[in-house]
Amino acid sequence: MQGALRLTALDRAARRAGLAPGLTLADARARVPGLAVLDHDPAADAAFLEVVADDCDRWTPLVALDMPEGVPDGLILDITGCAHLFGGEAALRMRLLAHLQRHGVSARAVIAGTPDAARALARSGQGGVVPPGGEAQAVAGLPVARLGVNAQIVTGLSRAGLKTIGDLAARPGTPLAARFGADLLTRLARTLGREDVRLVPRRPLPECIAERRFAEPIARTADIEATLALLVDDLALMLESRGEGGRAFEACFFRTDGAVRRLKIETARPLRDGVALARLWRERIEALADPLDPGFGFDLVRLGVMRAEKLTPAQVSLDGRAVEEEEVAALIDRLSVRLGRERVLRFLQRDTHDPDRASALVPADGASLPALPPPPEAPARPLTLFDPPQPVEALAEVPDGAPLRFRWRRVVHEVARAEGPERLAPEWWRQPEAAPTRDYYRVENREGRRFWLFRAGLYEREAQAEAGPPRWFLHGLFP
């Protein structure tokens, strides 16, 4: 019996036939000979729940997965401040259930003051709206298992005669906490509506939102772009009242069949210009490799600002630098939208002595970069580096001295001048493994070509454990 197939989920018809989760498949077919079964696929169930959760964003942006045992099998929606948009809590609940029913999803929904109270009632087969402050009365008759505690605690409470949440609520808390742990009292307080807990939404909340709902779904590209233009104007007014500009925007298109399509853009500087934003969205839609499929149409289009920053009016300097910076930022935005932000890059200078990390390529629409210091008259380090450094064969007059000649790519270079060494120790806080110390030399051969060489490792006896015998590498070329 330990390896027998068992039922994990049932529809309403199977429950009416007397079947229950945990029943072996052989017993179930003995009771219902024509039982239709499918293999349990938790990954497919979780993926389907994610699709339903995306569609539920049309009711509130605060949607969280309910995972009482670490496996998502329900949704929790925080409708605080949203119910009046749909005619009240009862009307919102009925519209939500009717919307899911049209897409073939049967669900139970309970509106209560805390997520734990709503969960306990919904998993007990109840529905409706609990009046404010009525959570304790509504859950009093539920079994203690609806608190979400483990089976051992449920068994212990039952043996003590505490079989319902109401029985547990009537007992003093100190003895219960001493015997069953403080977590039991916390779950009890939340289920009774005496303590609330913040939800962790599955998607980050936008700074501000503008949306349009349609009685007749839209499907034409021109209608979609016109709707985005209207939403951009609404967001521009909101951002202007807050003295901010958007850096990251997300457009959500809700189809009538429950599917949701999302598009994002990021800008190189805070932006709230409606004309510029509308142009970026138009180019974003035109650059899609997979066209925006409306299906039977979009009945809701939402535009949100995912990240905003302070935006103060710019004062054009006497040399027109402010205008040039705005034009460059606008060009970066358009290229990033068309080509992808990972393909439009700029150099970033890092505050480190390690030449391997001194510079990096980052998206050009990222945060503003620090101003680079003015270059010296003679650069101490080359602008072009080999990654990784190329090994060379070098000969020095003394073991720890400057090279006299070296062989690189089968060509021997005689050193006419050398300057150094510049000793660089590794960044031990970034490199857990011991890396050899480097001695860098700026050398010039007899033809006037200049190289940047380093010796990895030291000849001192105490440093031999760094990385074996020292080796020479060519790290860069001077112009």
pLDDT tens digits for range 411-460: 999 999 999 898 888 877 776 566 788 999 999 999 989 999 999 888 76
Q: CA distances (Å), 403 to each of 61, 99, 382, 393, in order?
A: 65, 78, 18, 10
Domain check: are 276 and 303 in the same one?
yes
CB 23 within 8 A of CB 6: yes
Of 275, 307, 335, the residue that ends a domain is 335
Residue 391 has pLDDT above 70, yes or no: yes
What was the pLDDT predicted at 461?
Answer: 47
Q: How many domains does the chain have?
A: 4
* pLDDT cut 70: percent of the chain above it: 90
Cβ contact 108:127 at 8 Å? yes
Considering the domain architecture, whether residues 121 and 100 belong to the same structural domain is answered as yes
- Contact between 232 and 278 under an 8 Å Cβ cutoff? The reply is yes
Query: Could you tell me if residue 298 is inside a domain?
Result: yes
Q: What is the pLDDT of residue 199?
A: 84
Q: List pLDDT tens digits, range 73-105.
A: 889 999 988 888 899 999 999 999 999 998 888
- The span from the CA of 31 to the CA of 16, in Å, is 12
What is residue 356's predicted lDDT score, i.e. its pLDDT?
A: 67
Percent of the chain with pLDDT over 90: 36
- Arithmetic mean of pLDDT, 214-239: 92
Mean pLDDT (the chain, rounded): 85
- CA dist 278 and 303 (Å) reads 12
Tokens of 29: 């077919």
Q: Can you give the chain as a three-state secondary structure string?
A: CCCCCECCCCCHHHHHCCCCCCCEHHHHHHHCCCCCCCCCCHHHHHHHHHHHHHHHCCCCCCEEEECCCCCCCEEEECCCCCHHHHCCHHHHHHHHHHHHHHCCCCCCCEECCCHHHHHHHHHCCCCEECCCCCHHHHHCCCEHHHHCCCHHHHHHHHHCCCCEHHHHHCCCHHHHHHHHCHHHHHHHHHHCCCCCCCCCCCCCCCCEEEEEEEEEEECCHHHHHHHHHHHHHHHHHHHHHHCEEEEEEEEEEEECCCCEEEEEEEEEEEECCHHHHHHHHHHHHHCCCCCCCCCCCEEEEEEEEEEEEECCCCCCCCCCHHHHHHHHHHHHHHHHHHHCHHHCEEEEECCCCCCCCCEEEEECCCCCCCCCCCCCCCCCCCCEEEEEEEEEEEEECCCCCCEEEEEECCEEEEEEEEEEEEEECCCCCCCCCCCCCEEEEEEEECCCCEEEEEEECCCCHHHCCCCCCCEEEEEEECC
Residue 203 lies in a domain: no
- Provide mean pLDDT across the span 313-337: 68
Same domain, 178 and 237: no
Please answer whether residues 310 and 243 qualify as being in contact, where contact means their C-beta atoms are separated by less than 8 angstroms: yes
Model-level pTM? 0.67
Chain centroid to Cα 139, Å, comes to 36
Same domain, yes or no: 32 and 105: no
Q: Do 129 and 105 reside in the same domain of the chain? A: yes
The band of 462, judged by pLDDT with boundaries at 50, 70 and 90, is very low
Give the residue with greater pLDDT, 339 vs 153.
153
**Phi and psi, residue 4, nearest 5°:** -75, 150
**288 has pLDDT over 90:** no
Is residue 157 one of the residues assigned to a domain?
yes
**CA pair distance 169, 437, nearest whole angstrom:** 68
Q: pLDDT value at position 463?
A: 47
Q: Are residues 60 and 181 in the same domain?
A: yes
Residue 388 domain boundaries? 384-477
Tokens of 194: 């005496």
pLDDT at 454: 94
What is the rounded average pLDDT of the residues 147-159? 89
Q: Which amino acid is at 86?
A: F
In a shared domain, residues 418 and 453? yes
Could you tell me which of 105, 132, 137, 133 has the C-alpha nearest to residue 121? 137
Q: Which of 10, 25, 40 is the last residue of a domain?
A: 40
Confidence of residue 151 (pLDDT cuts 50, 70, 90): confident
Do 403 and 441 form a contact (C-beta atoms < 8 A)? Answer: yes
Name the burial class of residue 460, with classes exposed (0-12), middle (13-18) and buried (19+) by CB atoms within 10 angstroms of its CB: exposed
CB neighbour list of residue 414: distance below 8 Å, 6 or more residues apart: 404, 405, 445, 446
Same domain, 244 and 289: yes
Output the pLDDT for position 467.
54
**pLDDT exceeds cutoff 90 at 408:** yes
Q: pLDDT at residue 367 above 60?
A: no
Say yes or no: 177 and 58 in one domain. yes
Is 60 exceeded by the pLDDT of residue 369? no
Residues 180 and 286 in one domain: no
Query: Does 199 map to a domain?
Result: no
Q: Indicate whether 145 belongs to any domain.
A: yes
**Mean pLDDT of the region 368-374:** 52
What is residue 324's predicted lDDT score, i.e. its pLDDT? 64
Q: What is the mean pLDDT of residues 327-343?
A: 76
Is residue 424 in some structural domain? yes
**399 in the same domain as 319:** no
Angle, in degrees to the nearest 10, between helices 173-180 and 182-191: 130
Q: Is residue 356 part of a domain?
A: no
Instruction: Identify the pLDDT of residue 9.
Output: 84
Least confident stretch, 267-281, 303-317, 363-377, 448-462: 363-377
Q: Of 319, 335, 351, which marks where a domain is finished?
A: 335
Kindly state whether residue 434 falls inside one of the protein's structural domains: yes
Question: Is residue 173 very low, low, confident or very high in pLDDT (cuts 50, 70, 90)?
Answer: confident
Domain CATH for 327:
3.30.1490.100
Q: CATH number of the domain at 18, please.
A: 3.40.1170
Whether 180 and 236 share a structural domain: no
pLDDT of residue 437: 86
pLDDT at 118: 93
**Contact between residue 51 and residue 75 where contact means Cβ atoms under 8 Å apart:** no
- Of the candidates 19, 51, 25, the one whose C-alpha atom is nearest the C-alpha of residue 39 is 25
- Nearest C-alpha neighbor of 81 from the set 70, 92, 73: 92
Is the pLDDT score of 371 beyond 60?
no
